[in-house]
């Protein structure tokens, strides 16, 4: 039988708290220097946020149970995009790490079962790599023309579990330049939101609170630190910033012996704004430093914190061909910065073409909760 002109990928992602599946389709034969962007046929995301709001954070057991309850429905809905015909799927892509053990197992075992029944190979995907490949979902375009050379690129991954600066020399070719030495940026947003009595997840809650700050005319009497902003390496630290927020809040409530949760809204807004600015300042300073040092063509960001509007706007201002060693800033749509299977599928599509050795039999696929790039 003649091979189909297009390859259909079923992608599954359950590494943390989103149960997601997607179908993507792209040309089977390609020009290796100019890979066409595959088409997203379907993208289904079931978010567990409501569940985790109750506990103001993820309880791993609760997350994995919710994945088990939803995974078949989510995959089934994604398959609607190809009329429910699993036989049309040529390849299954699944996140195999890093992430929560119980959550990863649900996606990987579902992928394995489907692979066994339908005799379809699997490409295991590193969650961090998927965050990077969210940048490749749309055809990467410059205003005037399509960018011919993306690489070398500096990539900033900022999620709930990771904060890393990476030099990407080509597809699948990474060098980690710096990482957080304690909390990840997203983790800091979540913890500070909790200190301020805001909801989970902390990132969007802090951004929303901070947006109210300019309207209150209240000036915060303190400046929060920008940890490691001037250090001569490309590492990050956010744990001290979180503690500084805790002390600041204690000071702001000390006068009248109010409880921390009783801090008035205008003060919460001011602390949120200053905290958000501090994180953004550090992330941008380090990214600019790496961009200067490695004289890259592009800068990309990925991970949940990359959906932060202040970070996106300020990064765009600071990284432009005119401002900085001819480098261009690329950023995925905010909805593709948080966990999603589309990015997993796109990453697998590039691997299918450029690293076919990663295509494997289901018996050889295992989870690795501590997987690195």
Nearer to ligand KG4, 81 or 204 (CB): 204
Determine if the peptide bond prior to 184 is cis (ω within 30°).
Answer: no
* 218 contact partners, CB below 8 Å, separation of at least 6: 266, 267, 269, 270
Q: Which does 180 bind (CB under 5 to 8 A by kind): ligand KG4, Zn ion, none?
A: none
Nearer to Zn ion, 36 or 49 (CB): 49
Q: Residues 172 to 231: which contact ligand KG4 by CB under 6 A? A: 186, 189-190, 201-204, 207
- CA dist 32 to 147, 296, 352, 355, Å? 15, 21, 11, 11
- Site size for ligand KG4 (CB under 6 A): 19
Q: Which does 186 bind (CB under 5 to 8 A by kind): Zn ion, ligand KG4, none?
A: ligand KG4
- Is 159 an interacting residue with respect to Zn ion (CB under 5 A)? yes
* Category of 17 on φ-ψ map: left (φ > 0), alpha (ψ -120 to 50) or beta: alpha
Residue 90 CB, nearest approach to ligand KG4 (Å): 27
The answer to whether 189 and 41 have CB atoms below 8 angstroms apart is no
Q: Which does 26 bind (CB under 5 to 8 A by kind): Zn ion, ligand KG4, none?
A: none
Listed ranges 50-58, 164-172, 303-311, 344-352: which one lies at the site for ligand KG4 (CB under 6 A): 303-311
* Of residues 90, 166, 92, 102, the one with CA closest to residue 131: 166
Residue 303 CB, nearest approach to Zn ion (Å): 6
38 burial level (CB within 10 Å; 0-12, 13-18, 19+) = buried
Nearer to Zn ion, 183 or 339 (CB): 339
Rounded CA gap, 302 and 304, in Å?
A: 7
Residue nearest to Zn ion (CB): 159
The continuous run of DSSP H or E covering 242 comes out as helix 239-254
Q: Which residue from 10, 79, 305, 347 is in contact with ligand KG4, where contact means CB under 6 A?
A: 305
Nearer to Zn ion, 178 or 304 (CB): 304
DSSP lists the bridge partners of residue 249 as none
Q: Given the structure tokens 């890259």, which residue do they identify?
A: 296
Q: What angle do CA 332, 65, 21 make, to 5 degrees?
A: 35
Residue 21 CB, nearest approach to Zn ion (Å): 16
Nearer to Zn ion, 189 or 362 (CB): 189
- Is 338 an interacting residue with respect to ligand KG4 (CB under 6 A)? yes
Nearer to ligand KG4, 7 or 155 (CB): 155
Q: Residues 241 to 260: which contact ligand KG4 by CB under 6 A? A: none
What is the Cα gyration radius of the chain? Answer: 21
- Is 339 an interacting residue with respect to Zn ion (CB under 5 A)? yes
The answer to whether 229 and 285 have CB atoms below 8 angstroms apart is yes
The answer to whether 70 and 21 have CB atoms below 8 angstroms apart is no
Residue 301 CB, nearest approach to ligand KG4 (Å): 11
Residue 131 CB, nearest approach to Zn ion (Å): 6
Nearer to ligand KG4, 96 or 307 (CB): 307
Rounded CA gap, 233 and 239, in Å?
A: 17
Residue 164 CB, nearest approach to ligand KG4 (Å): 12
Nearer to Zn ion, 129 or 339 (CB): 339
First-last CA distance in the chain:
38
Q: Applying CB under 6 A, which residues contact ligand KG4?
A: 16, 159-161, 186, 189-190, 201-204, 207, 303-305, 307-308, 338-339
């Amino acid at each position: 039988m003649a091979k189909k002109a297009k390859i259909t990928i079923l992608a599954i992602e359950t590494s943390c708290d989103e149960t997601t599946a997607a179908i993507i389709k792209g040309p089977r034969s390609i020009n290796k220097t100019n890979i066409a962007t595959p088409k997203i046929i379907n993208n289904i995301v079931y978010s567990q946020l409501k569940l985790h709001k109750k506990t103001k954070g993820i309880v791993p057991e609760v997350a994995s149970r919710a994945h088990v309850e939803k995974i078949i429905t989510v995959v089934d809905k994604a398959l609607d995009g190809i009329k429910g015909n699993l036989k049309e799927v040529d390849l299954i892509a699944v996140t195999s790490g890093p992430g929560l053990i119980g959550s990863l197992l649900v996606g990987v075992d579902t992928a394995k079962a489907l692979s066994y029944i339908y005799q379809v190979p699997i490409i295991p995907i590193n969650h961090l790599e998927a965050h990077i490949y969210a940048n490749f979902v749309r055809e990467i375009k410059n205003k005037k023309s399509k960018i011919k050379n993306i690489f070398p690129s500096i990539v900033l991954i900022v999620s709930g579990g990771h904060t890393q600066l990476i030099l990407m020399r080509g597809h699948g070719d990474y060098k980690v330049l710096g990482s957080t030495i304690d909390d990840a940026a997203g983790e800091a947003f979540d913890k500070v939101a909790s200190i301020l009595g805001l909801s989970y997840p902390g990132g969007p809650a802090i951004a929303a609170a901070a947006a109210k700050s300019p309207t209150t005319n209240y000036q915060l009497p303190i400046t929060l630190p920008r940890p490691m902003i001037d250090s001569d390496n490309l590492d990050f630290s956010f744990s001290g910033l979180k503690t500084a927020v805790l002390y600041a809040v204690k000071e702001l409530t000390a006068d009248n012996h109010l409880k921390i949760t009783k801090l008035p809204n205008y003060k919460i807004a001011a602390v949120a704004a200053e905290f958000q600015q501090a994180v953004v300042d550090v992330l941008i300073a380090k990214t600019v430093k790496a961009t200067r040092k490695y004289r890259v063509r592009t800068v990309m960001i990925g991970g949940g914190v990359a959906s932060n509007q202040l970070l996106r706007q300020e990064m765009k201002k600071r990284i432009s061909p005119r401002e900085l060693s001819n480098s261009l800033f690329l950023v995925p749509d905010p909805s593709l910065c948080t966990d999603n299977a589309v990015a997993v599928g796109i990453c697998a599509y590039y691997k299918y073409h450029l690293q076919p050795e990663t295509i494997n039999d289901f018996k050889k696929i295992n989870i690795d909760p501590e997987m690195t790039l």
